C-alpha cells in the first residue's frame, strides 16, 4: 500500500503521512544501521526525513551532529536528493549545552546563519526543505513542563527578528520553508501574525508532542489554531518513548531509552499514570487483534489534523511494524474505547 501524501501548510511540500525520525542515529544506531533504516524507509515510499543539529539524543558534546553527518553520508552515496523532503532544526537557548556555539546560543541572526551553514555541510546538501526552531527563544514550558511560569521570564530573540533572518536565508536558497517546534497556541499565532504584518516567511508546520498519553494538541485549542492558520502538525514521540509499544508494561526492565539512560532524561514517561494508561491501551489493542504499537500509531496516522507522524526505531523490525501500522484502520469501537481511557487518564505523558 502506498503511503498517502499531504501538503504542508501553504507550501509546495508534499510529504508522506509517515516521516522517518532519526534521533537515534549516532547513539543507539551506528552509521551502517542508520543507512539501512534510510534505505528501508525509501523502499517503503517514505519521502520525508526529520533531524536536528542537536541529535542524537540524549544530547552530548561527543555525539552532537552525528545524526546529520550519517544522513549526509547516505545522501552522498545514494543520491536522489530531489525526491526527498529534508527537515532539520536549530537548537533553542540552553546554557547546559555550551558545545553548540557556546552557552549563549539562540535563534538570533548570527546563530541562525552558523547553524544553517553547519547543517548544510553535515547533510552534504545545498538546501534544507524545512528549517525548524527546535524550541522557543522565550520562556515557555517544554519537554515535560506544562505550566507557564512568569517568574521564569528571560530575554529572548524577537519573533520578527528571527523571521527576518530566516527570510534572508530563504532568498539565498539555503532553506525553502520554515517551521516551529514545541510551540504553544500563542507562539503559533504570533509567528503567523508577524509574518503577515511584515511580509516575512510564514511557518508551515509545528512539530509538537502527540500520542495517546499526550493529546494536549487537541485540548489547548492548538488544533483549531493550526486549522484556521494552515499550519500542519508534525507529531513527534507517537509511541511515548516506547511506552505505547507496551514493552515496559510487559517487562519494566526491557531494553530501551527508559532503561538504558538515566531517569532524569525522560521523567514524564516514567510517571505511574503513564504506565497505567499504557496497560489499558495495550489490553484494548490486543483485545482487537492489534499490537499496542500498531494501535497507537494508527491513531496518530488517522487524525484529521495530522500533517505527518514522525516515527523512530532502533531496529528494522520495529521500523517495519511502525510503517505497516499505516495500513490499519481503527474501528469506531476502538476509537470510542480510546477516548474513554483518555477521559479517565488524561494526558499523563504531556
Provide the annotated active-site residues. 55
Grid cell 523502499 is found at 43
DSSP characters for 214-280? B-HHHHSSHHHHHHHHT-EEEEE-TTTTTGGGTHHHH-TT-SSHHHHS-GGGSGGGGSHHHHHHHHH
348 C-beta neighbours (distance < 10 Å), count: 21
Q: Which of 209, 205, 117, 206 is nearest to 165 (CA)?
A: 117
Report whether 175 contacts 116 (CB < 8 A).
yes
Q: State how far the Cα of 186 lies from the Cα of 190, in Å rounded to an integer.
A: 6
* Residue in 305, 216, 214, 210 with CA at minimum distance from that of residue 9: 305
For 189, residues 6+ apart whose C-beta sits below 8 A from its C-beta are 225, 229
**Helix or strand or coil: residue 181?**
strand
Q: 302: closest CA among 335, 278, 280, 277?
A: 335
Cis peptide before 56 (omega within 30 of 0): yes
Amino acid at each position: 500500500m502506498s503511503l498517502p501524501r499531504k501538503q504542508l501548510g501553504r507550501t509546495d511540500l508534499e510529504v508522506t503521512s509517515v516521516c522517518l525520525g532519526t534521533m537515534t542515529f549516532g547513539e543507539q544506531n551506528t552509521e551502517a544501521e542508520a543507512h539501512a533504516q534510510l534505505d528501508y524507509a525509501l523502499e517503503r515510499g517514505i519521502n520525508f526525513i526529520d533531524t536536528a543539529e542537536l541529535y542524537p539524543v540524549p544530547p552530548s558534546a561527543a555525539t552532537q551532529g552525528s545524526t546529520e553527518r550519517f544522513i549526509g553520508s547516505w545522501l552522498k552515496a545514494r543520491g536522489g536528493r530531489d525526491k526527498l523532503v529534508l527537515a532539520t532544526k536549530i537548537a533553542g537557548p540552553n546554557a547546559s549545552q555550551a558545545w553548540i556555539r557556546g552557552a549563549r546560543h539562540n535563534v538570533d541572526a548570527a546563530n541562525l546563519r552558523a547553524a544553517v551553514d553547519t547543517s548544510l555541510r553535515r547533510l552534504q546538501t545545498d538546501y534544507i526543505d524545512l528549517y525548524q526552531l527546535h524550541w522557543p527563544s522565550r520562556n515557555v514550558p517544554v519537554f515535560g513542563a506544562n505550566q507557564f511560569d512568569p517568574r521564569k521570564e528571560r530575554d529572548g530573540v524577537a519573533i520578527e527578528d528571527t523571521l527576518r533572518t530566516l527570510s534572508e536565508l530563504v532568498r539565498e536558497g539555503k532553506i525553502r520553508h520554515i517551521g516551529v517546534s514545541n510551540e504553544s497556541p500563542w507562539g503559533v499565532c504570533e509567528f503567523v501574525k508577524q509574518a503577515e504584518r511584515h511580509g516575512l516567511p510564514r511557518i508551515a508546520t509545528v512539530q509538537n508532542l502527540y500520542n495517546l498519553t499526550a493529546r494536549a494538541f487537541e485540548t489547548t485549542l492548538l488544533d483549531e489554531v493550526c486549522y484556521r492558520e494552515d499550519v500542519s502538525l508534525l507529531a513527534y514521540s507517537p509511541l511515548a518513548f516506547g511506552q505505547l509499544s507496551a514493552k515496559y508494561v510487559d517487562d519494566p526492565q526491557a531494553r530501551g531509552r527508559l532503561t538504558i539512560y538515566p531517569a532524569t532524561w525522560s521523567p514524564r514517561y516514567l510517571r505511574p499514570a503513564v504506565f497505567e494508561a499504557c496497560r489499558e491501551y495495550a489490553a484494548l489493542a490486543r483485545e482487537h487483534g492489534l499490537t499496542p504499537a500498531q494501535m497507537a500509531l494508527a491513531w496518530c496516522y488517522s487524525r484529521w489534523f495530522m500533517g505527518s507522524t514522525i516515527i523512530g526505531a532502533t531496529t528494522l523490525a520495529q521500523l517495519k511494524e511502525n510503517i505497516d501500522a499505516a495500513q490499519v484502520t481503527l474501528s469506531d469501537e476502538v476509537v470510542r474505547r480510546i477516548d474513554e481511557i483518555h477521559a479517565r487518564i488524561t494526558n499523563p505523558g504531556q
